[in-house]
Amino acid sequence: MATAQPASELTYSQEDVQQILNLAIAQQAYAGEFSAQQLLEIAEELEISPSNLEAALQTWQTQSIEQQRRQNFDQYRQGNLKKQIGRYVIANGGLISVNALMGFTFPWSMYIALLWGLRLGLNAWNVYHTADEGYEKAFQRWERQRQVRQKINHWLGQVLST
């Protein structure tokens, strides 16, 4: 961290420089996007070599693709959870109605609703708890299935087009 020195003698660590520049860029009122040429010019002004910039771009693209896949996976899981909740409400509403028409002398439908609700709650926990090994395993399994489907669709497309 910088100390109370004249402006020309101040020094900053690399981490401090990154944080300061991130804040400055975020506060910059720039309408639009930066072109690849502008990015290259900014890197040149910061004395970042073109090879380091290219490596950073490739890393950023890889991370962006991974982040998009994870968002797709999360949306997929949340969609499945919504379907499960819908089935839960419809089925248990019907069971409770049948039980009520039978006089509700023995509340068997409540036991079903409770057990099914417990399972649904655990599924919801798994969907929204993304910081554990189970999430990572589920994501890897989903990603493999997605890749297999893509390869099969590509192969079928080639076979059917000939």
CA–CA distances in Å: residue 89 to residues 4, 83, 100: 64, 10, 16
Is residue 142 one of the residues assigned to a domain? no
Per-residue pLDDT of the chain (162 residues; tens, 9 = 90+): 555 556 667 888 888 888 888 888 777 766 678 788 988 888 888 888 999 999 999 999 999 999 999 999 999 999 999 999 999 999 999 999 999 999 988 999 999 999 999 999 999 999 999 888 999 999 999 999 999 999 999 999 999 987
**Which of 62, 116, 64, 56 has its CA nearest to residue 89?**
116
Residue 67's H or E segment, with its range, is: helix 50-101
- Is 144 domain-assigned? no
In a domain, 162, yes or no: no
Report the percentage of the chain scoring pLDDT > 70.
93
pLDDT at 38: 85
In a domain, 21, yes or no: yes
pTM over 0.85: no
Which residues have CB under 8 Å from 2's CB, separation 6+?
Answer: 10, 11, 12, 16
The Cα 62–Cα 150 span in angstroms is 19
Q: Could you give the CA distance from residue 64 to residue 66 in angstroms, rounded to a whole number?
A: 5
Tell me whether residue 153 is in a domain: no
- Structural domain including 86 reads 7-130
Whether 140 maps to a domain, the answer reads: no
Indicate whether 143 belongs to any domain: no
The Cα–Cα gap between 89 and 94 comes to: 8
Residue 70: how many CB atoms within 10 A of its CB?
A: 15
Please report the pLDDT score of residue 26 as a whole number. 77
Number of domains into which the chain is organized: 1
Position 154 scores a pLDDT of 94
Residue 50 falls inside a structural domain: yes
